[in-house]
């Protein structure tokens, strides 16, 4: 697989596809956040749509189920005034023996402008970006254990809006790091945007062996890992990706690594709590924390629409300057 940035960027460094946060410049990640910020105010208006993608066709290609991600991408596209096609993979021609490329070529022949791709295989979005015609933009909505860049960027926006800035902050990511594409994308984005320290907390069986080479510091104890943290990001146990018994039990995991009010007290008093969802209450987080004053989990969902609007608009237009989000459709 070629360097993703030779695929996802134009020759002059603008966003063409959005496949991964890895290797993107601080300036470009900041541009995505600034553009998303400009869309947040539009979500509070009576008329929430802007005409930036009017006449464009966006196809949601979800080979993996995800109600939240698919819904926010659909809303983002609609609020940009695009036409939406949700392809039901389970009933599509690919389930009848048609190859992936045949499906893509047929969608291209319908003059589609953007594919939002979610796939269980790592590198699937990158592969599709290399194969499609130059006028089709690819947005990675999650590929295997590799990357989930829009989730990472909505998390960055959440931190920036609630903590003022990412630079200098200590961030802890807790739980199943090994199977998490979200964690990988978060780590790359946090390091690029100047986080003082990125910590990953969990049992050794759920931490990648190369985690330190990614720029994160491993911790195996919640008390030590959460000490002086500004941000705590909880992750669910991805049992669907576990091939072996990596944990004794969910109860044991919650006892050691589940976020309770008592464990949260190890972090800074004004630390915020995040979770990309879906939440498994009583497994990685207790309800008192998920619904508590320090939780910004629902804010993440709201910011997700703005971030996906920003990425889609930038990929389609190829522009780096903030888009004008004030003109109503």
Total residues found in the chain within this entry? 329
CATH number of the 4-146+302-317 domain: 3.40.50.1370
92 or 234, higher pLDDT: 234
| 149-297 shares the fold of 4-146+302-317 | yes
Give dist(CA 102, CA 99) in Å, integer. Answer: 5
Q: Is 16 annotated for ligand binding? A: no
What's this model's pTM, rounded to 2 decimal places?
Answer: 0.91
Task: Identify the DSSP state of 293.
Answer: T
pLDDT of the residue at 150: 98
Q: Is 91 annotated for ligand binding? A: no
- CB count within 10 Å of CB 258 equals 23
Q: Is 96 annotated for ligand binding? A: yes
Give dist(CA 276, CA 204) in Å, integer. Answer: 22
Domain spans, the chain: 4-146+302-317, 149-297
Q: Is 179 annotated for ligand binding? A: no
Q: Is 162 annotated for ligand binding? A: no
pLDDT tens digits, 258-301: 999 999 999 999 999 999 988 999 999 999 999 999 999 999 99
Q: Is 21 annotated for ligand binding? A: no
Quick one: average pLDDT of 211-234?
97
Q: Is 151 annotated for ligand binding? A: yes
Share of the chain above pLDDT 90, in %: 72
pLDDT tens digits, 141-172: 999 989 999 999 999 999 999 999 999 999 99
Residue 317 has pLDDT above 90, yes or no: no
Q: Is 236 annotated for ligand binding? A: yes
**Low-confidence winner among 80-89, 99-108, 214-223, 293-302 (lowest mean pLDDT):** 99-108
CA 50 to chain centre: 23
Quick one: average pLDDT of 175-195?
96
- Rounded to 5 degrees, what angle do the CA atoms 190, 37, 148 make? 40
Give dist(CA 329, CA 326) in Å, integer. Answer: 9
Highest mean pLDDT among 44-58, 101-115, 221-235: 221-235
Q: Is 69 annotated for ligand binding? A: yes
326 or 316, higher pLDDT: 316
Domain 149-297 grouped into CATH 3.40.50.1370: yes
């Amino acid at each position: 697989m070629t360097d993703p940035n030779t695929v996802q960027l134009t020759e002059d460094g603008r966003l063409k596809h959005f496949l991964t946060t890895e290797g993107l410049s601080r300036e470009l990640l900041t541009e995505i956040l600034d553009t998303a910020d400009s869309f947040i105010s539009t979500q509070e208006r009576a008329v929430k749509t802007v005409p930036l993608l009017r006449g464009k066709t966006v196809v949601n290609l979800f080979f993996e189920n995800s109600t939240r991600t698919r819904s926010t991408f659909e809303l983002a596209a609609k609020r940009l005034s695009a036409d939406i096609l949700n392809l039901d993979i389970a009933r599509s021609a690919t389930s009848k023996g048609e190859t992936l490329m045949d499906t893509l070529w047929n969608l291209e022949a319908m003059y589609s402008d953007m594919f939002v791709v979610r796939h269980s295989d790592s590198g699937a979005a990158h592969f599709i970006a290399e194969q499609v015609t130059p006028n089709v933009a690819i947005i990675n909505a999650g590929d295997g254990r590799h990357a989930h860049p829009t989730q990472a960027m909505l998390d960055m926006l959440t931190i920036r809006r609630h903590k003022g800035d990412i630079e200098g902050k200590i961030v802890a990511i807790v739980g199943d790091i090994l199977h998490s594409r979200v964690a990988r994308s978060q780590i790359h984005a946090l390091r690029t945007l100047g986080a003082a320290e990125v910590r990953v907390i969990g049992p050794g069986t759920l931490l990648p062996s190369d985690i330190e080479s990614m720029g994160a510091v491993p911790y195996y104890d919640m008390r030590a890992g959460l000490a002086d943290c500004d941000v705590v990001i909880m992750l669910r146990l991805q049992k669907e990706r576990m091939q072996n018994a990596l944990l004794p039990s969910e109860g044991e995991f919650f006892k050691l690594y589940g976020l309770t009010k008592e464990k949260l007290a190890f972090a800074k008093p004004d630390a915020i709590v995040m979770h990309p969802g879906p939440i498994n209450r009583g497994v990685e987080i207790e309800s008192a924390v998920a619904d508590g004053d320090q939780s910004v989990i629902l804010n993440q969902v709201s910011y997700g629409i703005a971030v996906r609007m920003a990425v889609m608009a930038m990929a389609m237009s190829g522009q780096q300057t903030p888009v004008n989000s004030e003109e109503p459709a």
